[in-house]
Homo-oligomer: A and B are copies of this chain.
Amino acid sequence: MNVQLGTAIATPGSRATGWLAVETAPGEQTQIPVVVINGGQPGPRLAITAGIHGGEYTGPAALRSLLLSAEAGDPVTLANLKGSIIATLATSPAAFKARSIYVNPQDGKNLNRVYPGSATGSASERIAHAIATQLMTGADVYLDLHAGDINEALSPFVGIEQTGDAARDARAVALGRAVGAEWLLIGASPGTTTSTAEQLGAIGILCEFGGQGHVEPEFVARHAAGVRGVIAEMGMGDFPQSPIERAVGSLKPGASTRLNSEAWLRAEIPADVAGYWHPAVGVGSVVKKGERLGEVQGVFGDVLQTPTAPIDGVVIFLVTTLAMNNGDPLLALGGDPEGGVWP
């Protein structure tokens, strides 16, 4: 049976690239680049998005290296692959071109807060709707590849949901661990890609490597290795190593330490004031509840906010720009580690 996404149609044992067109405004077509890999053997469906945020480069770079390589297109490899992979390479094309932080410049919205979207809404909502209906629907597993945004550093983590269905939850944990990040965060986030994929019947997995607008080879390679790990865990077979993984050489997968809670801290300063953010911690720092995490200052050094840790936790992401606006994230902590101990 053929597998199709947009104009990309792959017959069994083949690979195809193409475009998923979304009418983001009347008369305006936004073209999302896609790749479809259809294995020669029956098996599950893996759906992947990269570039939901335009300035998070490690995911798109990883998928381009992994899915478009000569090795991945080898006829024998394709004939042996069990199941299919469908992926977007740049899900918010206008944000990619604009090197935009957080939002899709087509409507100023965060594409990872408007799911499941709407066929008649604004540009981001229409993209979300197309992804939900055409990419997520029918998938067994869904991966959303992110990084820290252009203004964010992070410690590699995976996010999954736990539903109370023990067998399904164990499966989500096994798939999440197969990505090989340092942390495995448990939690649901309404409006996001992965929560919507869950509602559509897939296991949704958020994968975060790299950040700060960098195309760091190590983190590109770890994203690629993470996708391969999930492909293997799904029983689809061994997917060929990507060129970027070979170039980087031996990679050390993270321990996937499970974190059962999460806390975001945001700037709380007057809206018209330019904040200057001086973090006192780095990504991966483990802090105690009540510990001072930095200062938001005014331009002349006056202290506007002294955020402290609301929980014992590890800094999973950190905004690293000097500029800080009211309501922007400062950092996030992951807490409640499995077994009660930090690795």
CB neighbours (8 Å) of A307 from chain B are none
* A89-B299, A90-B299 known; A215-B322 Cβ under 8 A: yes
A325 within 8 A of B: yes
The answer to whether B215 and A214 touch across the interface, beta carbons within 8 angstroms, is no
A274 touches which one: B57, B97, B101, B300 (CB < 8 A)?
B97
Contacts of A54 in B (CB 8 A): 323
Our pick among B55, B299, B323 for the contact of A321 (Cβ within 8 Å) is B55
Name the residue among A33, A35, A323 with the largest chain B CB count within 10 angstroms: A323
CA distance A99 to B89 in the complex (A): 25
**A193 at the B interface (CB under 8 A):** no
Write the nearest CB–CB distance from A220 to chain B, whole angstroms.
Answer: 9
Question: Given contacts A64-B301, A299-B33, are A96 and B323 in contact (CB under 8 A)?
Answer: yes
Evaluate contact between B64 and A213: CB separation under 8 angstroms: no
Nearest-Cβ distance from residue A99 to partner chain B, whole angstroms: 5
A300 to B64, CA, bound (A): 7
> What 1/0 flags go to A179-205 for Cβ under 8 Å of B?
000000000000000000000000000
Question: A320 to chain B: which residues have CB within 8 Å?
Answer: 213-215
A276 at the interface (CB under 8 A from B): yes
In A100-127, the 8 Å CB interface with B consists of 101
User: Is A130 in the interface zone, CB < 8 Å from B?
Assistant: no
Interface size on A, residues (CB 8 A): 33
A212 touches which one: B64, B89, B213, B322 (CB < 8 A)?
A: B213
Instruction: Indicate whether A57 sits within 8 Å of B321 (C-beta atoms), given known contacts A89-B299, A213-B151, A299-B33.
Output: yes
- Taking CB atoms, residues of chain B closer than 8 Å to A33 are 299-300
Quick check: A68 and B212 within 8 Å, CB to CB?
Answer: no
- Chain B residues with CB under 8 Å of A60's CB are 276, 322
Q: Determine if A84 is an interface residue (Cβ-Cβ < 8 Å).
A: no
Chain B residues with CB below 8 A from A55, complex form: 321, 323
A66 to chain B, nearest CB (A): 12
Docked-complex contact A215 and B321, CB < 8 angstroms: yes
Contact flags A293-328 to B (C-beta < 8 A → 1, else 0): 000000111000000000000000000111101000
Report whether A68 and B321 are in contact in the complex, using a CB–CB cutoff of 8 Å.
no
Residue A150 at the chain B interface, CB threshold 8 Å: yes
Contacts of A321 in B (CB 8 A): 55, 57, 99, 150, 213, 215
Give complex CA distance A97, B35 in Å.
37
Which residues of chain B are within 8 angstroms of A301 by Cβ–Cβ distance?
A: 64, 68
Q: Is A229 an interface residue (CB 8 A)?
A: no
Say yes or no for A61: interface residue by CB 8 A criterion.
Answer: yes
Asked if A83 is at the interface (CB within 8 A of a chain B CB), the reply is no
| CB of A17 closer than 8 Å to a CB of B | yes
- Does B323 lie within 8 Å of A97, measured CB to CB? yes
CB <8 Å contact, A151 and B214? no
Residues of the B chain whose Cβ atoms lie less than 8 Å from the Cβ of A299:
33, 64, 89-90
Complex interface: chain B residues within 8 A of A99 (CB): 101, 150-151, 321, 323
A-B pairs, top 4 by smallest CB distance, nearest first, are A57-B322, A33-B299, A215-B322, A17-B300
16 pairs, A vs B, C-beta closer than 8 Å:
A33-B300, A54-B323, A57-B321, A57-B322, A57-B323, A60-B322, A61-B276, A68-B300, A90-B274, A96-B274, A96-B323, A97-B274, A212-B213, A213-B320, A214-B320, A215-B320
